[in-house]
Amino acid sequence: MRGGYPLKPFDGSDIPVIRTVAQEIKTTTQKGLSVFLVIILLLGSSSCATGWLTRGEQEIIPVLEPVEPSFEEEQDPWVAVSYDQRYGYKALSSAHKGIYDRIHDAVFTYDRSIDFGDKPVSSNDFMRILRYYADDHPEVFWLEAGSFVFTEIEKGLCQKVTLQYIGKNTFESYNSKTGRIEGQISDSELDAMRKDFDNNIDAALALLAPNDNELMRELKIYNYIADTVKYNDDLMTQVQNNTVKRPITKSAYGAAVERSTVCTGFAKLLGVLLNAAGIECLMQYGEMDGEGHQWNIVRLEGRYYHVDVTQPVVIFSGAEATTEYVFFNVSDSEIKDSHTIQPALIDGDYQVNYLVPPCYAEDKSFEAYFGLHVAGTWFNEKDFSQKIRRLHDYELSGLFITYTVSGETMQEYLNKNIRTMRRLAAGRFVWGDSYYAFEKGGKQVVYIEMTQK
């Protein structure tokens, strides 16, 4: 929790008196970023890069009239994103897929050594393949992409690689003098950790229904993480000072089991859960306010969007809680207002980020899909009813309205239309007695409290 302002009650009449909060709502993440929040109350409590196309030219066009998913018709049950459909794996050549497969075989048998024999591999290629594997499989929490040693290398070619794993309280290191792993994690410890991890993942996935559409699955998982995982400020200080005592806390295990982590753990847990829920989810590296940061890119209905679930929960009045959705399914242009995307190539050869398609679409951002946007003085009953239906179908509570009309205030707009809004919402929601008004980017925004029937 970083702070917030209390919801302000109605004055007792049918027409609320809007009191605009002049200050910004400052949400301090590990990067110290201050952003304007657009808040909407959830049911329950609670926190693509610009790139290049990898397989031919494919134009991604923003959806102007999104297709409304039906919750009444049966949908095909979702299945996990398969091994051979993970993004990094698909981007590799056949030869490099073979190295990727060897890494996979090694980590699941707890083997530390990969020997390429008379077919040495470029050290840069191996680092890229290992990065792809680790990003494709954040569920392999005992492996870090940078935790390995080239034990035999000549002229940029490696014949043998030694992987180093991380345990619950310790981590392995390779002794070049003895050629042995020091502090080796036992198989039984790794097995026990995997059992705890799998149990927590299964519990999270149990919240999903077989016929949930992609956006519903994404929302449930996003909210689950925001509700259950806390940001670890002490760990962030250790990361900044390069004094991390327990690397496991930065992993998906730290987020899923210990429920306390930093941005890396948040992003990895989101990757684990979304991929398991059949939604392609990629890792993205960059900066936020000058500090290293990690978030995700998701693929919904063939289009890519940025998602940053690290943002903290804002608590109102010490009781009610809302989750912010500032970086939920946003485009390149939106994410660049606050994030810097790390380039895929460093010094011309070492690749960090995936080469991913641009994130053009803005139709699935929280503000666009669930909020009411008023650009004229005429009240659009059809648009309002659609947003009310969406909020109800996606098990959300509360409505925010963004108002951009000059010559009429939000107060005047509500004075004319509040009774009609209540009438249209009455079948699905009980209209609350609290609201919250503020400004965002020069626009008037009001949040109206509602409770699902």
Q: What is the pLDDT of residue 18?
A: 37
Q: Which residue has the tokens 């946007």?
A: 373
Residue 345: band (very low, low, confident or very high) from pLDDT cuts 50, 70, 90? low
Residue 268: band (very low, low, confident or very high) from pLDDT cuts 50, 70, 90? very high
Average pLDDT score over residue span 316-331: 63
Instruction: Please tell me which residue, 404 or 115, carries the higher pLDDT value.
Output: 115
Residue pLDDT, tens place only, 424-441: 999 899 887 777 777 766
Average pLDDT score over residue span 315-322: 38
Listed residue (65, 133, 81, 92) closest to 298, CA to CA: 81
Bridge partners of 339?
Answer: 288
Rounded Cα–Cα distance for residues 415 and 265 (Å): 46
Instruction: Please tell me which residue, 62 or 436, carries the higher pLDDT value.
Output: 436
Inform me whether the pLDDT recorded for 37 exceeds 50: no
Inform me whether the pLDDT recorded for 185 exceeds 50: yes
Q: What is the pLDDT of residue 420?
A: 92
Inform me whether the pLDDT recorded for 312 exceeds 90: no
Q: Which of 69-73, 232-236, 404-408 is most confident? A: 232-236
In terms of Cβ atoms closer than 10 Å to its own Cβ (0-12, 13-18, 19+), residue 71 is: middle
Q: What is the pTM of this model?
A: 0.78
Q: Which domains does the chain have, with CATH numbers?
A: 1-40+371-453 (3.30.110), 43-59+211-360 (3.10.620), 86-185 (no CATH)
- Output the CA torsion 199→202→203→207 (10° steps): 180
Q: What is the pLDDT of residue 323?
A: 55
Contact 354, 136 (CB under 8 A): no
Residue pLDDT, tens place only, 206-225: 999 988 999 999 999 999 99
Q: Can you read off the two tokens belonging to residue 345?
A: 């190539």
Ranking 51-55, 166-170, 344-348, 357-361 by mean pLDDT, the lowest is 51-55
Percent of the chain past pLDDT 90, that is, above it, reads 40
Sequence-distant (6+) residues with CB within 8 A of 112 are 106, 162, 163, 164, 165, 172, 181
Q: Can you read off the two tokens belonging to residue 232?
A: 């670890």
Average pLDDT score over residue span 385-411: 84
Q: Which amino acid is at 131?
A: R
Q: What is the pLDDT of residue 447?
A: 79
What is the average pLDDT value for the chain, to the nearest integer?
A: 78
Residue pLDDT, tens place only, 245-255: 898 999 999 99
Average pLDDT score over residue span 99-118: 94
- Please work out, in degrees rounded to the nearest 5, the angle formed at the alpha carbon of residue 220 by the alpha carbons of 353 and 315: 95
Q: What is the pLDDT of residue 73?
A: 44
Inform me whether the pLDDT recorded for 146 exceeds 50: yes
Instruction: Please tell me which residue, 366 or 114, carries the higher pLDDT value.
Output: 114
Q: Can you read off the two tokens belonging to residue 421?
A: 């809004």
Percent of the chain past pLDDT 70, that is, above it, reads 77
Residue pLDDT, tens place only, 73-86: 445 567 899 999 99
Inform me whether the pLDDT recorded for 29 exceeds 50: no
What value does the CA radius of gyration of the chain take, rounded to a whole number of Å?
24
Residue 364 φ/ψ region, left for φ over 0, alpha for ψ in the -120 to 50 degree band, beta for the rest: alpha
